[in-house]
Amino acid sequence: MAVTTISRRRLLTTGGALALAGGLAAACGSNTGRGGGGSKVRLSQWYHQYGEAGTEQAVERYARAYKDAEVKVQWRPGDYDQQTAAALLTSSGPDVFEANGPTLDQIRGGQVADLTDLVQGVRDDFHPAALKPKIWDGRVWAVPQVIDTQLLYYRKSLLEKAGVRPPRTLDELVDAAKRLTDARVKGLFLGNDGGAGVLGGTPLYAAGLSLVTDDGRAGFDDPAAARALAKVRQLYADKSLLLGAPADWSDPAALIQGLTAMQWSGLWALPQIQKALGSDFGVLPFPADGPSGRPAVPVGAYGSAVSTRSGQRDAAKAFVKWLWVDRTDYQEDFALSYGFHIPSRLSLAAKAGKLKEGAAAEVVRFTADHGYAQPLLWTVASRTAYQDALSRIIKGGADPESELRSALRTTEAELRRVQKKS
Amino acid sequence: MNRDMGDALIRVGRALRLVLLLALAVLFLVPFYLLLRNGLASEADITAPGWTFFPRELRWSNLRELFDDPSVPMAHALLNSALIAVATTLGTLLLASLAGYGLARIPYRRANAVFYAILGTLMVPAAVTFVPSFVLVSSLGWVSSLRGLIVPTLFSAFACFVFRQYFLGFPRELEDAAQVDGLGPWRTYWRVVVPNTRPVFASVGVIVFIGAWNAFLWPLVIGQDRDAWTVQVALSTFTTAQSVNMHELFVAAAVSILPLLLVFLLLQRYIVAGVERTGIDG
Amino acid sequence: MAASGSTRRRATPRERNQTLWFWVFVGPFAVGLVLFTYVPLAWSVWLSFFDARNTVSPTHFVGFGNYTAVLGDAAFRDALGTFAVFTAFIVPATYALSLALALAVGRLRRARAFFRSVFFLPTACSYVVAALIWKLSLFNGVRFGLANTVLGWFGADQVAWLSTTDPPWYWLVLVTVRLWLQTGFYMVLFLAGLQRIPPRLYEAAAMDGARPGWQTFRHITFPALRATSVAVVLLLVINAFQAFDEFYNLLSDARGYPPYARPPLVYLYYTALGQEQNLGLGSAGAVVLALIIAVATVLQARWFGLGRREEA
């Protein structure tokens, strides 16, 4: 079916191009071939599946509005990072794609194009936390689209009923989750894996540490790391965590359906939660732990990148510049009209009315104060090793110190590998 | 002396066996029940506390909702799966039966070497080579295309082996008669051998068809684009996706097994025969 | 062995002619097999000696580096361990259940076709569909899951079946899903095996005073099913080795895969084709796995004397 529609469309455009070329030839007496109005460059653009209704239609609208190329949007549910990684090996992959990266190895392997020129002049307008992980060797490898903040939502009424105040420290969180748990409702939802996947380095940052330091060394070689992770394990051991819910942490369904009193999720879920719960909810950063701790707010920035396998690299770059640099109106619409995301441009974030009131304003404030992004040097192999360790600590009750030591070994080897030649 | 008691024991044993079988049969049917129950319920009914054995109202509209939902390309995925399963079945039957016949009947000095080279691949399951196969198929530019999904799976050493064994046991007289009539190997094969060996084609075909319809790893690796999704990949993607719409997923799953249930009901005889061949030939 | 003496002639043109015909029949299949099985295997072996990250045409030769890395990777060894545990569960369980069902169904006078169909029907389902039912409805971790509902009737707590590693409830989910899917298939194999046992064996046994039931089974039925048993065990082990579908669909999420219950193919999938894109390491792992399974198959075949069966 798709085959026939595509070929029909191709037939039409080719026909149009021929007619137009004929017309041009008649008018000007010559035809330079490319650049004839009808034979547009075709670009394919990939997005991961956003959970919020309307987003897919929005990005398709933007793509249609672009005049210099015919952009085909692909909406890709499932393990998006895996899909893009595999597709970049082949020339049948996307021209333009959003990436929760790109990863350092994708940059080093020359799989993504240098986009430094695109952000020239507006580089300072991008939120530094969002732009920093896109920079390697002083060059920019992706244009940040929006800032995704993760945070803790809680049901005010349930906390009041249990006589619990919103937790300000990790110890209070452990205690609150335990007291909020009863036979029907769990205290806290950190994802179906008990938090290993979504928390990542957040407890480390909450303990005043980091994944990779600014000077490129492992940032969790410290006893405080094991102490913080042991408390996350405590949550699991207390049976305070909701596990095995049909929808995972990124979807606010568990909180809305009343399966849990608190849930770790994203700012994008705020409109849905607001609609379902009215004012019966509050927001918090991941609470601080220990004397040198501070609240932690993980921010992710999906960036728009261009594949070097693309046959139309220049056209792809031009499109990225048009959508993610020039069209600030679309950027604002994309960030705020469906789920909530903080625009990656400081100038847009400053004037976004929806982010100035209520819970959203609070989130914006603590994101500004405590936001951290995964460093680019945090490679996939390091992440896998650390996540495996975290999962074993949380669920298996493995000794945090020895688990962290083995993750540390992998991380140090990876850091040596990627910093060797550059 | 205690023959009566023995008889009674046997009867009790028989009754017990029947009860156990019935209990097991019910257990085996539970997943089908869940498929129907959740597929025809509203989301609220599924997630409601307390179990309702059947939804208060059967929502056949879930079906329409499924096919109307633009974010779940179910119709397209069904079409892909059907195309892939049919093409794989026909292609495998053609290639493997020809090869099996050649190996069984046409004398050739190195026939044994060829046979063992084919047999050897049985020892390295296709699943283990999916990484290099992906590399190969991607360098051919076949990722996310029906070609990439079909062609590499057509060369089933197992099917070839089954055909060879079957043709070895096929009486030679018919072919000899055909040869006397002046038919060459090609025409002998098509006019004499194939029409007389339909059951083996049916059973291998059905087994291959089921395998192709239910295949997951290869379509997952190769069918990256939504346009190339098979039913299995579509279902899996939405099981692991960010937000889950349960009633739609279950009705989709129910729809996805319908074609095979039909095949099962109509062709069970051949399937059973096919399974038996699988076992005999290991 | 196919060439019987009567058709073989010394005449060279005829032989040449037959060689041609042989390749007309076997050629297309052989070419495809070489292209889609042998070439990838060779390519894989080649890749395994290179530092091939994010590329399939690497230039940096690393010798056996990938092999030492993959064998030294605790995750890879865990994957082999997972396979061992899974095999230890699933092979005896499927074997016993399918044999028991075959014996029970085979002896039924009435409703035999009905029971056979019921137990065989799950074979029509894919692992994806079954995993979906198991994960989202039967064994989901919340109160509207069927297993938790049943536990609730007895006042027990909810169990997060797939997320609990202590005790490892996820094995219950993984084993039952496969048991449900494949038991019927092997039951049919055993039914066929049972039918091939000559009735005179039983008559003779009865004359010798063997009582029906355990004794007959122990001394007649079970030995007579030897060939079927060997085939069933071989198939079960090979299939367990290839486990991917239900593991992936039950346990993976948008963020990856947990560190437990990660069978070899899932490990390979994430290492080579996941975001890590370490194709050198993944290829080395694939080669190691291929070697293991080839050796295991040969050993098993030797052990059971599979070669002898063909002559019998």
Query: Any CB–CB contact under 8 A between C187 and chain B?
Result: no
Tokens 């909530």 appear where?
A: A340
Half-sphere exposure of residue C271: CA atoms within 13 angstroms, side-chain side: 28
- Percentage of residues of chain A with pLDDT beyond 70: 90
Q: Which residues contact C139 (CB under 8 A, 6 or more apart)?
A: A244, C145, C146, C147, C161, C162, C172, C173
- Percentage of residues of chain B with pLDDT beyond 90: 29
Burial of B171 (0-12, 13-18, 19+ CB in 10 A): exposed
Interface subset of C 104-163, CB within 8 angstroms of A: 136, 139-143, 145, 157, 160-163
What would the CATH number be for the domain defined by A150-297+376-419? 3.40.190.10
Q: For A6-145+301-344, which CATH class?
A: alpha beta
DSSP H or E stretch at residue B126: none
**pLDDT tens digits along B224-266:** 777 888 999 988 887 766 667 888 889 999 999 998 888 887 8
Q: Which residues in B lie closer than 8 A to residue C2 (C-beta atoms)?
A: 103-107, 111, 168
| Range scoring the smallest mean pLDDT among A376-385, A411-420, C104-113 | C104-113
The neighbour count for residue B87, using CB atoms within 10 Å, is 18
Inter-axis angle of helices B231-239 and B74-105, to 10 degrees? 130
**pLDDT tens digits along A209-232:** 999 998 999 999 999 999 999 999
Q: How far is B149 from chain A (nearest CA, A)?
A: 14
**pLDDT tens digits along A3-45:** 333 333 333 333 344 343 333 333 333 333 333 445 688 999 9
Question: What is the chain A residue with the closest CA to B71?
Answer: A75
Interface subset of C 67-96, CB within 8 angstroms of B: none
Domain assignment present for C10: no
Query: Any CB–CB contact under 8 A between A1 and chain B?
Result: yes
Cβ-defined contact of A105 to C54 (cutoff 8 Å): yes
Q: How far is A413 from chain C (nearest CA, A)?
A: 12
Nearest CB to A92; choose among B143, B237, B246: B143
Best C6, C24, C33 residue to mutate vs chain B (most B CBs within 10 Å): C33
Q: How far is A46 from chain B (nearest CA, A)?
A: 10
Query: Any CB–CB contact under 8 A between A72 and chain B?
Result: no
Query: Any CB–CB contact under 8 A between A330 and chain B?
Result: no
Question: What is the chain C residue with the closest CA to A83?
Answer: C274
Residue A208, pLDDT score: 95
Question: What is the chain A residue with the closest CA to B137?
Answer: A90
What's the CATH code of the domain at C123? Answer: 1.10.3720.10
SS3 B137: helix
Cβ-defined contact of B226 to A90 (cutoff 8 Å): no
Q: How far is A370 from chain C (nearest CA, A)?
A: 23
Residue B34, pLDDT score: 92
Q: How far is B16 from chain A (nearest CA, A)?
A: 37
**pLDDT tens digits along B45-69:** 887 777 888 887 888 888 888 888 7
Q: Which two tokens stand for residue C37?
A: 């099985």
Q: How far is B76 from chain C (nearest CA, A)?
A: 18
CA B105 to chain centre: 29
Residue C5, pLDDT score: 44
Interface subset of B 232-261, CB within 8 angstroms of C: 232, 235-236, 239-242, 244, 246, 249-250, 253, 256-257, 260-261
Nearest CB to A248; choose among C164, C165, C253: C253
The neighbour count for residue A141, using CB atoms within 10 Å, is 25
Domain boundaries, chain A: 6-145+301-344, 150-297+376-419
**pLDDT tens digits along B114-168:** 998 888 887 776 666 777 788 788 888 888 889 999 999 999 888 998 899 889 8
What ipTM score was computed for the predicted complex, to two decimals?
A: 0.87
In three-state form (DSSP H/G/I as H, E/B as E, the rest C), the secondary structure along chain A is CHHHHHHHHHHHHHHHHHHHHHHHHHHHCCCCCCCCCCCCEEEEEEEECCCCCCHHHHHHHHHHHCCCEEEEEEEECCCHHHHHHHHCCCCCCCCEEEECCCCHHHHHCCCECCCHHHHCCCHHHECHHHHHHHEECCEECCEECEEEEEEEEECHHHHHHHCCCCCCEHHHHHHHHHHHCCCCCEEEECCCCCCHHHHCCHHHHHCCCCCECCCCCECCCCHHHHHHHHHHHHHHHCCCECCCCCCCCCCCHHHHCCCEEEEEEEHHHHHHHHHHHCCCCEEECECECCCCCCCEEEEECCEEEEECCCCCHHHHHHHHHHHHHHCHHHHHHHHHCCCCCEECEHHHHHHCHHHCCHHHHHHHHHHHHHEECCCCCCCHHHHHHHHHHHHHHHHHCCCHHHHHHHHHHHHHHHHHHHHCCC
Domain assignment present for C209: yes
Cβ-defined contact of A81 to C275 (cutoff 8 Å): yes
Q: Give the amino acid at A241.
A: L
Question: What is the chain C residue with the closest CA to B243?
Answer: C254
Q: How far is C164 from chain A (nearest CA, A)?
A: 7
Domain assignment present for C251: yes
Q: Which residues in A lie closer than 8 A to residue B71 (C-beta atoms)?
A: 49, 56, 75, 77
Query: pLDDT 10s digit of each residue in chain C, 312 long?
Result: 444 444 544 557 777 788 889 999 999 999 999 999 889 888 889 989 999 888 777 888 999 999 999 999 889 999 999 999 999 999 999 999 999 999 999 888 788 888 988 998 898 899 999 999 999 889 888 778 889 888 888 888 888 888 888 788 999 999 999 999 999 989 988 998 888 888 888 888 888 877 777 888 888 888 888 888 888 888 888 888 888 889 998 988 767 788 888 999 899 888 887 778 888 998 899 889 888 888 887 887 777 765 444 433
Domain assignment present for C181: yes
Residue B242, pLDDT score: 60
Neighbours of chain B (3+ CB pairs under 8 A): A, C
Pair A198, A265: CB distance under 8 Å: no
Q: How many domains, chain C?
A: 1
Q: In this model, does residue B81 exceed pLDDT 60?
A: yes
Best A45, A73, A90 residue to mutate vs chain B (most B CBs within 10 Å): A90
Domain assignment present for C243: yes
User: Which residue from C233, C113, C120, C115 is spatially nearest to B279, judged by alpha carbons?
Assistant: C233
Q: Which residues in A lie closer than 8 A to residue B138 (C-beta atoms)?
A: 89-90, 92
Q: Which residues in A lie closer than 8 A to residue C164 (C-beta atoms)?
A: 243, 395
Q: Do domains A6-145+301-344 and A150-297+376-419 have the same CATH topology?
A: yes
Residue A54, pLDDT score: 87
Interface subset of C 214-233, CB within 8 angstroms of B: 227-228, 230-232
Best C12, C25, C142, C300 residue to mutate vs chain B (most B CBs within 10 Å): C25
Q: Which residue has the higher pLDDT, B4 or C204?
A: C204
Q: How far is A42 from chain B (nearest CA, A)?
A: 16
Pair A150, A249: CB distance under 8 Å: no
Neighbours of chain A (3+ CB pairs under 8 A): B, C
Report the predicted TM-score, pTM, of the whole model to 2 decimal places. 0.83
State which residues form the domain around C204.
Answer: 68-304
Neighbours of chain C (3+ CB pairs under 8 A): A, B
Q: Which two tokens stand for residue B153?
A: 């799976």
Q: Which residues contact B157 (CB under 8 A, 6 or more apart)?
A: B118, B119, B121, B122, C33, C37
SS3 C139: coil
Nearest CB to B155; choose among C2, C32, C213: C32
